[in-house]
Amino acid sequence: MKRIYLDNSATTRVDDRVAKTVVEYMIEKFGNPSSAHSFGQEAKYALDDSREKIAKVINAGVNEIYFTSGGTESDNWAIKGIADKYTAHNKKVHVITSSYEHSAIYAICKTYSKVFPNLFTVTFLSPDKTGLISFEQIKNEINKNTKLVSIMHVNNEIGVKNDISSIGKLCRDNNIIFHTDAVQSFTKIPIDVKAMNIDLLSASSHKIYGPKGVGMLYIRKKIEILPNQYGGHQESGMRTGTENIQGIVGFAKAAEIALNEMNDDIPRITKLRNKLYKLISKGLDNIILNSDLENGYGGILNLTFKGIEGEAVLLSLDLEGIAVSTGSACSTGQINPSRVLLSIGRTAEEAQSSIRFSVGRFNTDEEIEIAAKSVIEAVTRLRSMMN
C-alpha cells in the first residue's frame, strides 16, 4: 500500500539534500565547535555559516539568531525570558496573546498566571470572524504594565495569517516587545523582521524538511531578555550547552533550500491544497471550511464534516495509509475539542468533526486525487452508519 502523508504541519519528511548534510556532520565533521583543533574549527565554521543562512531568511543580523531545541523552547523562552525580568523583582507584567496560540505559548502563559497570580497577568484575545487577531483588539488591551505581545504569524490548525506588520508597528510605537511564533510560516511566507518591527521570533526545523529537535529564537539586538540556559559560553551565554551541530547544519540547509525554492514550492502546494478542497467539496455536502483559502497559508485545509467524528475519519483514512490530523487534544482518556476551532466560533460538536489536511513539498497531484476520493468515501460511509 502506498502511503500518503498529508500532515505536513505536524512534521515533514527530511529532504534528501538535508539528510546528506546531517549525516556528513555526524560521521565526518563531528567536532565540538568549542575545540581549538581542526575538527572543532570545522564545526565552528559550519555553526557560523548556519547562523548566517537562518538570519538571511528573515533579514536579521547573524548575532540575533539563537539556536534552540525547537519551536516549543523558543516560544517558552520568549515568554519566560521577558516575564522573569519583572517577576524576579516583584514587578508586574502584563502579556497580550491569543486564545489560539500553539500550546507552547498558551500553556506557559496559563502556568505563569497561576504561579505569579499577582504579578503576571495575561489577556487571551479571541480571533474575529475572519479568524484573525486585529491591531485594534490589541490596542484596546494595552495597559501600563503591558510589556509583551505574542501573536502567531500562521495558525497551525487553520492556516490563517495574521498581519504581523501592523501589530509590530503598534508594539514598537507603544514601546512593547513583540514576539511572533513563526513556526508555520518561516521560509513559507516572506518575513522581514526589520520592516515588520518584530523583536522576537520562533522557528523550528522539522516543519521545513529539516531534522527534529532544533529551532531558533530571533532576538533583536536591543531587546533585553534573560538567558534560557546557564552554563558555558555557547550562543553568547544565552542558551548554553554543546551545540547540536548536525541538527543546526541540517536546519540551515533546509532553510536555504526552502528560501531558494519558495517561489516554486508555495504556489505548487497551494494549487494542490485548492484541488483537494475542490474535489472534496464537489463530492460532499454539509462541510464547513475553517481555513481562509484566499489570504491564509496555502498548505493548510481544515474542514468540518458535519454529523460525524473527526477521529473516525482520521482512523478510516489511516487504514488506507493516508495521514491527516484532528486538532483535538487527548487528555486523561478524553478527547477535547480543538481550542483553535472553538475560538473561531465552531461548536464543540463541529470542532470534534474536523480534520486538518496539510500539504507539503513531496505531495503529488495523484496523491491529492486518491486522498480526496478516500475522504469522500469514508465520510459518506460514516454518515450512513449514523442514520
Which H helix or E strand runs over 44?
helix 38-58
DSSP letter for each residue of 295-361: TS-TTEEEEEETTS-HHHHHHHHHHTTEE-B--PEEETTEEEPPHHHHHTT--HHHHHTEEEEE--T
Nearer to ligand PLP (CB atom), residue 162 or residue 353: 162
Calculate the CA 157 to chain-centre distance: 10
- Which of 12, 50, 72, 98 touches ligand PLP (CB under 6 A)? 72
The overall longest dimension of the chain from CA atoms, in Å, is 72
One symbol per residue from 81 to 120: x for binding ligand PLP (CB under 6 A), - otherwise; what is it?
---------------------x-x----------------
Q: Are strands 146-150 and 120-125 parallel, antiparallel or unpaired?
A: unpaired
CB of residue 283 to ligand PLP, shortest distance in Å: 29
Query: Toward ligand PLP, which CB reaches closer, 72 or 363?
Result: 72
Q: State the virtual CA torsion across 130, 76, 361, 154 in degrees, nearest 10.
A: 10
- Set of cell numbers at residue 376: 469522500
The region of 52-60, 69-77, 344-352, 357-365 touching ligand PLP under the rule CB under 6 A is 69-77
Query: Is-contact 155 113, C-beta < 8 A?
Result: no
Q: Residue with C-alpha cell 504569524?
A: 153
Strands (E), 118-176: 120-125, 146-150
By CB under 6 A, name the one of 18, 83, 152, 287 that touches ligand PLP. Answer: 152
Residue 250 near ligand PLP by CB under 6 A? no
User: Is 330 considered catalytic here?
Assistant: yes
The span from the CA of 292 to the CA of 317, in Å, is: 24
Site string (160-199) toward ligand PLP, x via CB under 6 A? ---------------------x-xx---------------
Using DSSP's 3-state secondary structure scheme, residue 150 falls into: strand
Sequence-distant (≥ 6) Cβ neighbours of residue 19 within 8 angstroms:
250
CB of 215 to ligand PLP, least distance (A): 5
# residues contacting ligand PLP (CB under 6 A) = 14
One of 53, 55, 64, 70 touching ligand PLP (CB under 6 A): 70
Choosing from 23, 329, 330, 348, the catalytic residue is 330
* CB nearer to ligand PLP: pick between 33 and 71: 71
- Among the listed ranges 64-72, 170-178, 192-200, 285-293, the one in contact with ligand PLP (CB under 6 A) is 64-72
Crossing angle of helices 365-386 and 245-283, rounded to 10°: 60
List of residues contacting ligand PLP (CB under 6 A): 70-72, 75, 102, 104, 152, 156, 181, 183-184, 204, 206, 215
Residues catalogued as catalytic:
330
